Structure 1
């Protein structure tokens, strides 16, 4: 059967750990690349120990698959390799000869000590695309420093525009729940590599890629940061308020919560009619999008909540949908998976897992699965530490005697 994956035939060496860079490598794996994950013998990726939940292994097996690891390492083969050993470096260089991409997130200059930096490996394979993912980038006064998601939510401006608005109880900056800077950095990593692969198809040459969480964190503030660059004024925190027109916020029914976005004049007019308060449409407090979404937002939301509390969440959604006003039910995490559209899109991806007690693991489907000719797919569950070491070494041409020597030397 012909593999119609977008990246069929592309080999990726994933020397990264924890979250941002592993997410980037996983995206390439979802698109069909052969991703070989390099892990420390006996220890593995540090991310295997992160998170609040762990996969239950079959027959008491400690699979060492935390939620952090599980969400970022499907479609990969794991080999153990100690790159500080000469024998480990030998294996890695042989692997590089067969590879298209190498992703690493070691401290700046760390791999150069072992002759595993871009310039050294480029001499072995000029077509190699070498991507380094760090907190602060490869240059500058802070380049040597380690970096984690929360630091960049604080530094890059994201927390400055996230949280309870000034003047309200609990006002102040707030970190987003998920590791969003890490996650988006992973996507930027994959995009940069895809661009480099396209360029290589023309020039035949690889290149070096410098990806930084700091860069991503500033870019993520997006249109709100652009507001500041254009006006010189820092926009206020809006809490759950929308960033465009208004009213846009959570509204409360008698038994649940709905998010409402009546962001255009027409949407707002329809809302005032639905509420049987048409005079609000011309009320000078709310007669512009700016007033409804910014200056008098809280006052208008209080009026809407006084109305919405008469109805259940389902009734609110039905009424709003009936007059064409965008709205959505607020879901707790268990409710997300009961949502009819989430079910229809197949976003809970039950994947066979030979080492799981249940025989499977539920994963989050790739948002790239909707490609008509080369969809992203899940072909492998996240691997055990070194699960594929012997398989990959055999593919590289190392026989059983040489593999035994590598093990004796502590290289694998």
Structure 2
């Protein structure tokens, strides 16, 4: 039982040099399942510490929501990596660690004497994971390798924006930072895979993920449409380029999603709508037929849904065909599914007696090895002393 409570990644030590979202999301996934994640920060700390938002009882602005959500359960040490003593401390930590994660631009760690090849001499089994906007030259040198990149750039160049929005004249980024998050998710998978290899062989390796590449992988439809039909995928608003009715439809008090893929679902929808004429219409009996007459189909469904509330539509459609209301944060906090699945979790406050923070829980469920209870995020440099590291001294410019 003790092992199960420790988490499935208990015993794995991760040195986390990453900042902002992509790397911290990756290492959050590891920490949530028991890995010891040591966040290595510069004297100013991770930029996300100052990004907000802050609660009204946090007058010192120590606990930004951005930072708390991504860095729960980690440890923090402060090292000025330009300082030779700090570089020596990193090499010492690497000897007893399993993973290193960073998301600097290519060449930064090499200039500090802390690149993969140097650190692999200290620990041949180290798994060195690098998330960059356009990848690392080790995996293929991009002409954009030196370009700085954030989520908005990855979404734009990787094709996501060209497929999102109302039409070609209005490309749109997605709300969440998917350019960072998806790269971080893929890196977490890659790390666990590389650890499996290291356990079998004793050999670590360098892992290279480009945010651009991750977005292109996410937008796989873009590739096969162009390859097979010579068609450039375009924004389809809230609909689908291949299916109808499939997308977002108006309700009397908001919006709902309906996804009709097979013909049986179409027959069920027309029955519920009390539209025997549409059920009997041979033009609409197949996916291809409905695709060819998508405006007519979507208009008919919209005309029906807009007369009913989300609750009424849920009663009619829920469980009978793919359906769901468009939820905002308030809806999600009140949804019984979220409660049953424990998808809003509480991170305890670092100060005893203070109320904790609510965050999105980790969605992975292991039957035999449940995730560990969430722990407080670290104060900047909170664990320097525990690792025998003196407070960071700024290097000379």
Normalization by structure 1: what TM-score? 0.89
Structure 1 residue 378 displacement after superposition: 3.9
Partner residue in 2 for 1:343: 339
Partner residue in 1 for 2:104: 106
Structure 1 residue 408 displacement after superposition: 5.7
Partner residue in 2 for 1:6: 8
Superposition pairs of residues 181-200 of structure 1, within 5 angstroms? 181-200=179-198
Instruction: Pick the aligned partner of 2:68 from 59, 70, 87.
Output: 70
Partner residue in 2 for 1:388: 383
Structure 1 residue 288 displacement after superposition: 2.9
Superposition pairs of residues 13-412 of structure 1, within 5 angstroms? 13-41=15-43, 43-50=44-51, 53-55=53-55, 60-63=59-62, 65-138=63-136, 139-165=141-167, 172-242=170-240, 245-283=243-281, 286-292=284-290, 294-321=291-318, 324-355=320-351, 358-368=354-364, 370-393=365-388, 403=390, 407=392
Q: Secondary structure at the match of 1:119?
A: helix
Structure 1 residue 253 displacement after superposition: 2.6
CA contact (8 A) 2:350 2:377 kept: no
Query: For 1:102 and 1:231, how far apart are their aligned partners in 2?
Result: 43
CA contact (8 A) 2:348 2:374 kept: no
Instruction: List, as ranges, runs of 4+ consecutive aligned residues in structure 1 with deviation greater than 4 Å.
Output: 55-58, 406-411
Q: Secondary structure at the match of 1:263?
A: coil
Structure 1 residue 409 displacement after superposition: 6.7
CA RMSD of aligned residues (A): 2.2
CA contact (8 A) 1:159 1:175 kept: yes
Query: For 2:98 and 2:177, how far apart are their aligned partners in 1?
Result: 28
Query: For 2:366 and 2:230, how far apart are their aligned partners in 1?
Result: 41
Q: Secondary structure at the match of 2:71?
A: coil
Worse-superposed segment, 3-12 or 297-306 = 297-306
1:85-121 deviation per Cα after TM superposition (whole angstroms, max 9, x unaligned): 0111121111111111111111111111121001111
Give the direction of change, closer, same or farther, for the CA distance of 1:387–1:57 in structure 2 (3 Å limit): farther
Give the direction of change, closer, same or farther, for the CA distance of 1:409–1:261 in structure 2 (3 Å limit): closer
Query: For 2:191 and 2:261, how far apart are their aligned partners in 1?
Result: 37
Gaps of 5+ in 2: none
Q: Secondary structure at the match of 2:70?
A: coil
Query: For 2:205 and 2:392, how far apart are their aligned partners in 1?
Result: 33
Query: For 1:214 and 1:30, how far apart are their aligned partners in 2?
Result: 26
CA contact (8 A) 2:78 2:392 kept: no
Query: For 1:254 and 1:137, how far apart are their aligned partners in 2?
Result: 47
Gaps of 5+ in 1: none
Query: For 1:235 and 1:295, how far apart are their aligned partners in 2?
Result: 17
**Corresponding pairs, count:** 390
CA contact (8 A) 1:15 1:105 kept: yes
Query: For 1:112 and 1:16, how far apart are their aligned partners in 2?
Result: 15
